[in-house]
Amino acid sequence: MSFSLHTWAPPRQAEVDAALLGAVTDVVPAAFQGACAYPLTTGGKRIRPLLCFASAEALGAPWRSALPGALAIELIHTFSLVHDDLPCMDNDDLRRGKPTVHRQYDEATALLVGDALLAQAFVVLAQSPALAAGVHDLALATRRMCEGQFLDLQRGSDSGELDALIRLHQAKTGALIAASVRLGARAAGASEAELDVLTCYADRVGLAFQVRDDVLDAHEADKAGGAPNFIRLLGLDATSTFAQRLAGEASDAVASLPDPAALIALARFAVDRES
């Protein structure tokens, strides 16, 4: 039977959506709990939780065994979006068509919401003994994400070099994707060899997502005279080819695992999506 991402993903996305709200029910006072819940209800594909589930399934484990890791990852991702939207960073008014947290509330509240979601991610992860080793994965990925954001803010004379651009996105975007995959693997009791295989997959998928983003944003970035990206360095055709190559390498890396279908489908989604 062929694998369908369209039927596989929705029940997992729905469970994450419900569980995320449950993850902040102990936040007080009630007004702050509402502010913390707000960015968790503005939509999103939940790609990182899906990667976490797919990684566990690839090793033969039930996907729900990876739910604590998936929630922790999405809480970290949401924290990063709340802070990225702040006036001191990207100064965005909308996120997924809805007011950003600092517009819906205020800047100080948005800062605290991001901090609370960051902390809550580790509360959730600490409640799962099977994922104790994953605390290091998540903490390191969060730090690397911040390092990547700093590099993005500080882009200078070396930002036009391909290697520098790859390093930036491996940290800013790829580190959290790698942690997603590793947490799913740890929930399944992965060996070190299996973790290495899945990290290889994640490194390529994480970069493939960013490369595809550049393809999708090519017209807008060129029109705005934006910052150096893969299109400017490689050209549109070569960038598209690069993305396809990364997806192929990712799929090849996990092909020998017991059940890699979801991981392979997500690698294809990374480079075939239209948004």
Tens digit of pLDDT for each residue in 162-186? 999 999 999 999 999 999 999 999 9
Instruction: For the domain made up of 5-272, give the CATH fold.
Output: Farnesyl Diphosphate Synthase (1.10.600)
- Global pTM reads 0.95
Q: Distance between CA atoms of 114 and 98, rounded to whole angstroms?
A: 17
Q: Distance between CA atoms of 156 and 30, rounded to whole angstroms?
A: 44
Q: Distance between CA atoms of 164 and 243, rounded to whole angstroms?
A: 17
- Report residues of the chain scoring pLDDT below 70: 1, 156-160, 219-228
With tokens 């997806």, the residue in question is: 247
Contact 156, 90 (CB under 8 A): no
Q: Distance between CA atoms of 155 and 251, rounded to whole angstroms?
A: 32
Structure confidence at residue 47 (pLDDT):
98
- Enter the tokens of residue 59: 């090793």
Residues 251, 252, 256, 258: what is their CA dihedral angle, to the nearest 10 degrees? 0
Q: Is the peptide bond before 29 cis (omega within 30 degrees of 0)?
A: yes
Phi-psi region of 92 (alpha: psi -120 to 50; beta: other; left: phi over 0): beta
Buried b (16+ CB within 10 A) or exposed e, 202-216: bbbbbbbbbbbbbbe
